[in-house]
Amino acid sequence: MQIVHIADTTKLNTTVARYIFDRIKSNLHQNRPFTLGLATGSTPLGIYRELVPLLGASGLDLSGFYTFNLDEYIGLTQHHPNSYHAEMMTNFWLPLQKLNPTFKLEHTHIPDTSTQNPDEECKTYEHAIQKNGGIDLQILGIGTNGHIAFNEPGSRGDSRTRVVSINEETRKVNADKFFAGDISKVPTHAISMGIGTILEAREIVLIALGESKREIMTRLLNLVEPTENIPASFLLQHKNTKIYTDMSNM
């Protein structure tokens, strides 16, 4: 894992957005598709605010550009403002399509939790990632307990896309950030890509912003081998992971 420290968060967002844009552009210029793994939560929003206009104004033909999201809540409809589907529509997919109509909404993927058969949907999602040729670059945030996507502590390093339960701690944090502090409104379950699924991405960029992530990042960076107690530690097994942080003395 390579760690990149950029103290100014705005500069960090611009740097990461530019980096991802260049990776997408390079593939598309060579007539190769590009699949971006998208994350939700507050962390990537600043990057999306930069990346969407870059892609939008690029003049690139985005018909070879695909996206797969990490996870989705069970129990919220796609139209619920707190669903990850709605979050992506608002912050990425629709603004990009408006700026560059070659971007196809049919090329976006997120687990469909409205299904009667979530286990089947997990298999379908895994299959769709494979059929699409895998993920070129996966963006990740990190939870204060070390979760990535909704892989909570105790998740196995070889886990695949599956139905997971969301920890009390994670629900509390997400309640404060997105559900006006009301934990009863935060779903207890989700469909999440597994850690094994995430590790198959050819490149991973994890972003850790702000002091609330210092403790978990310090624990993570002091590990020599992965532990199920800190799901993000399985990234130690990945050959092409960069961590961008705005925290000094990491």
Residues that bind ligand GLP (CB under 6 A): 39-43, 70-71, 141-143, 149-150, 170, 174, 177
Alpha-carbon distance 140 to 44, whole Å?
8
Q: Least distance in Å: CB of 20 to ligand GLP? A: 16
- 24/142 with CB nearer ligand GLP: 142
Alpha-carbon distance 113 to 121, whole Å?
8
- 52/186 with CB nearer ligand GLP: 186
Q: Which of 27, 145, 189, 238 is catalytic?
A: 145
Alpha-carbon distance 146 to 234, whole Å?
10
Q: Which of 147, 151, 174, 246 is catalytic?
A: 147
Q: Which of 71, 87, 126, 246 is catalytic?
A: 71
Q: Least distance in Å: CB of 109 to ligand GLP? A: 15
Q: Least distance in Å: CB of 174 to ligand GLP? A: 5
Q: Are strands 137-140 and 34-38 parallel, antiparallel or unpaired?
A: parallel
Alpha-carbon distance 76 to 244, whole Å?
31
Cα dihedral across residues 153, 207, 71, 176: positive or negative: positive
Q: Is 120 annotated as catalytic?
A: no
Q: Is 145 annotated as catalytic?
A: yes
Burial degree of 182 (CB within 10 A; 0-12, 13-18, 19+): exposed
Q: Least distance in Å: CB of 169 to ligand GLP? A: 10
- 61/176 with CB nearer ligand GLP: 176
Residues identified as active-site: 71, 145, 147, 152
